[in-house]
Structure 1
Amino acid sequence: MRSSVEIHDIATGETRVVWQTDRLVEAPNWSRDGSHLIINGDGRLYRLGLDGSEPVEIDTGFATLCNNDHGLSPDGTTIAISDKTEFGKSAIYLLPAEGGTPRLVTRNLPSYWHGWSPDGNTVTYCGIRDQVFDIYTISVDGGEERRLTHGEGRNDGPDWSADGEWIYFNSSRTGQMQIWRIRPDGSDVTRITDSPYGDWFPHPSPDGKHLLVLSYDGDVFDHPRDLDVRLRLMDLDGGNARILFELFGGQGTINVPNWAPTGDRFAFVRYERES
């Protein structure tokens, strides 16, 4: 499988390739200073410069089975990762952005990190408890997790709005995966998309202007890899939705926050079909 890490400028509509590889890499995050991306591949994390240079591995200590749910804190000093080395199930850890020893956040498993609160004090994630997928938050210092959804379909992919007022997520509670949002205290659950697609991984832009969504064909329930998908841009309330472009991708394309700090560009991974 060939992976192409790319950047799309929403003002110009132009897309440029940052780096290509015959390895499977996934889920680019953008550094807070805009200088590089963080991607995962082969269970490890890598720092990828925007100049096309080869990626540099980030030391994640014992965590060598990292999945594609990772991201930098608002101040850029800490990386949240999801890794299954220690327990055999995905667990959330925090470690210094430059690399170091991971610190466990919650022993409730499996848990898949997806977003930081704007103040950096809380993370939001998808947790599977008794085969039920729901949205949770927890302090970066650990403690009790807060359950925001309660088994109304499958709930996944949470990401915080820049003003801290909302957590966006995807849910199948109406029978088809669509985008919803909820207050951090669990109130005011609101549907955002009413589309013919299977909508996943909503990412509000840092400037508070846009919402980026990965959309599968409507008959696709989960978020598999290797399908024709589309990236859609809309207002934060779901208005003015439009398809930016279609691509071959899915799982790994934009699983986690991927906007540039300025909110005018985003990173993603495109895949090439096997010949």
Structure 2
Amino acid sequence: MKTNNLKPVKTLTFVTLLLGLIAFCQESDKSKPTSYTIAYSAKESGNVEIYQRNTEGKSTTESTNEKGGYLAWSPDGKHIAFYYKYDDKKTWSIHTMNSDGTNRKRLTYEKNKWDNSPTWSPDGRKIVFSREYKDSEKNWQQEIWIMNSDGSELSQIKSLKGGGPYFTPDGRIVFHSEFKDKKSEISIADIDGNNIIQLTNNEAEEWHPEVSPDGKQIAFMSDRDGNYEVYVMNIDGSNQNRLTNNDVGDWYPSWSPDGSQLIFSSLRDGEKSIYIMNKDGAEVRKIISNASSPAWLKIIL
């Protein structure tokens, strides 16, 4: 009888110890700093750099020894797309390379055209980019083009006039409309260019939309209040809020993998550097000096 009565006690003790061990492991995981990866262009060298930072602020930097700007990670984090200038900066071309700087490939070759702002589709199979140039009548044109990630099957999305394209998680494209009379707006459309919906409506330049990882918000830059600042809005254009407030420009916001923070470029300390802030604009601090065009890898490492 005594032996049988001990069985429930032993079971209860084992369960209690197991639950305690699980709680300890969870608490230990919380205490570990989370590492994130940022790609950017170094101001002094012009090279594309890979920057690793964690919640404690520790970091390492590795140069890929490749020059270029406006960086975009592939969804699996293995490749980077960017543009590079040729012909005395008259021709801009889209390139890809491995994240360690190897296997560089030039994907576009159109002379006297500015191919820029590449972005990857959610499945990594397509790259969309902006093409800008002056036509035969010297009028400035802004077009959006799409191709396979190896550069094949290049074609224009003819109904989309503008630049800065960025994919939503469900495969739509946000972009800024063609720049006219110092005005451009943020819009969203299907990948084939149908169902265009204008999200902003201001007498301002509004550029570089980037969609949050959960697809619910868009961060973008606008000079609606006098100079470029970082704003955020819902994916349907509602609830537009200004996050930064400076006498100098703040540009190119990029979401953290968990959507809780944003990084951006700024001249606020007299040099072009990269800053980080919470998604509500709080706790702004500089993390990388002499750098621009930050792109945050959306994979939590």
Q: Secondary structure at the match of 2:202?
A: coil
Unaligned runs of 5+ in 2: 1-43, 86-91
Residues 168, 52 of structure 1: alpha-carbon distance in 2 compared, 3 angstrom cutoff:
closer
Residues 76, 66 of structure 1: alpha-carbon distance in 2 compared, 3 angstrom cutoff:
farther
Residues 105, 52 of structure 1: alpha-carbon distance in 2 compared, 3 angstrom cutoff:
closer
Instruction: Using the TM superposition, name which of 195-204 and 231-240 deviates more.
Output: 195-204
Query: Max radius of gyration: which structure?
Result: 2
The alpha-carbon deviation at position 169 of structure 1 amounts to 0.9
Q: Answer yes or no: is 1:235 the counterpart of 2:278.
A: yes
Q: Which has the higher contact order (CA 8 A, sep 6+)?
A: 1
Which residue of structure 1 lines up, in the alignment, with residue 206 of structure 2?
155
Which residue of structure 2 lines up, in the alignment, with residue 57 of structure 1?
106
The residue type equivalent to 1:143 in the other structure is: N
Q: Secondary structure at the match of 2:83?
A: strand
The alpha-carbon deviation at position 166 of structure 1 amounts to 1.0
The alpha-carbon deviation at position 55 of structure 1 amounts to 1.5
Which residue of structure 1 lines up, in the alignment, with residue 123 of structure 2?
75
* Identity, % of aligned positions: 25
The residue type equivalent to 1:99 in the other structure is: G
Query: Aligned partners of 1:94, 1:64: CA distance in 2, in Å?
Result: 19
The residue type equivalent to 1:56 in the other structure is: K
Q: Secondary structure at the match of 2:179?
A: strand
Q: Secondary structure at the match of 2:289?
A: strand
Residues 106, 51 of structure 1: alpha-carbon distance in 2 compared, 3 angstrom cutoff:
same
- Using structure 1 for the length normalisation, give the TM-score: 0.78
Deviations 1:65-100 (A, max 9, x none): 343311101111110011136966220011111221
Which residue of structure 2 lines up, in the alignment, with residue 84 of structure 1?
132
Unaligned runs of 5+ in 1: 219-226, 265-275
The residue type equivalent to 2:77 in the other structure is: G
Which residue of structure 2 lines up, in the alignment, with residue 31 of structure 1?
74
Q: Is the 8 A contact 1:230 1:243 kept in 2?
A: yes
Q: How many residues align?
A: 245
Which residue of structure 2 lines up, in the alignment, with residue 98 of structure 1?
150
- Using structure 2 for the length normalisation, give the TM-score: 0.72
Deviations 1:182-217 (A, max 9, x none): 222221111212345421111112322320111124
Residues 137, 183 of structure 1: alpha-carbon distance in 2 compared, 3 angstrom cutoff:
same
Query: Aligned partners of 1:142, 1:85: CA distance in 2, in Å?
Result: 20
Query: Aligned partners of 1:217, 1:179: CA distance in 2, in Å?
Result: 13
